[in-house]
Amino acid sequence: MIAVASPHVKLFIGFSTLTGFRKSDVLGLKWDDVNLEDKVIRVWINKTREWKIYPLSTAATNVLKNIKKDCEYVFSYKGKRLNDIKRSFKTSVRRAGLSGKEGLTPHACRHIFVTRLTEAGVESKFIRDAAGHMSEKMSERYKH
């Protein structure tokens, strides 16, 4: 899917699967909240209505370094903030021949994030905190 996605969708997928942030949190990220030198970002979490500071992996930092700064928002298209990515994401799914896959939406990137951490043997408490889940039960739903 990444191979056939448009550039802004590739960056969204890459960053989302590496951080596990919700779509709205990724699309609301501003360059003022990014510190590439210290590899941290400040994210407004819409669901809990609070700011949180997160460390960035080298891979997530590299994704951000590849994004053109043509807007105050990190994820933009032609110099304008991306308010939603569903249609572009759906186009990428269709181009990749994955249209029959149920649930393949931008939210699937969070599931990929949790699944990868689980496969790497990361402790459940860390996964829950990294994904911003309020309970272990919720994190379990994401592991597959």
| pLDDT at site 72 | 97
State the residue range of the domain holding 71: 2-100
Number of domains in the chain: 2
Q: What is the CATH number of the domain that holds 42?
A: 1.10.443.10
DSSP 8-state symbol, 52: E
Residues 14 and 82 in one domain: yes
| pLDDT at site 106 | 92
Whether the full predicted model's pTM is greater than 0.95, yes or no, is no
**Tokens found for residue 59:** 């891979």
Residue 19's closest CA among 136, 138, 140, 129? Answer: 129
* Confidence category of residue 111, pLDDT binned at 50, 70, 90: confident
Residues 87 and 126 in one domain: no
Residues 75 and 118 in one domain: no
Residues 135 and 88 in one domain: no
Question: What are the tens digits of pLDDT across the range 35-88?
Answer: 999 999 998 887 788 898 999 999 999 999 999 999 999 999 999 999 999 999
CA distance 128 to 17: 15
Residues 111 and 81 in one domain: no
| pLDDT at site 47 | 78
Q: How many helices (H) and strands (E) does the chain have?
A: 7, 5
Residues 23 and 88 in one domain: yes
Phi, psi of 45 (to 5 degrees): -90, 105
